Amino acid sequence: MRVGRLEIGVFNVGGTLHALPNICTHQFGPLCLGHVGGTVLARAETGYRFEWGLDGQIISCPWHGLEFDLTTGRCLAYPRVRLRTYPVRVEGEEIILTA
Ligand code: FES
CATH of residue 22's domain is 2.102.10.10
Q: Is 80 exposed, middle or buried (0-12, 13-18, 19+ CB in 10 A)?
A: exposed
Q: Residue 29: CB within 6 Å of ligand 1?
A: yes
Report how far apart, in Å, the C-alpha atoms of 60 and of each of 9, 26, 28 are: 13, 12, 13
β-sheet bridge partners, residue 10: 19
State how many domains the chain has: 1
pLDDT tens per residue across all 99 residues of the chain = 888 888 999 999 999 999 999 999 999 999 999 999 999 999 999 999 999 999 999 999 999 999 999 999 999 999 999 999 999 999 999 999 987
Distance 30 CA to ligand 1 centre (A): 8
Give the domain extent around 70: 2-97
Ligand 1 mutation target, pool 64, 76, 81, most atoms within 8 A of CB: 64
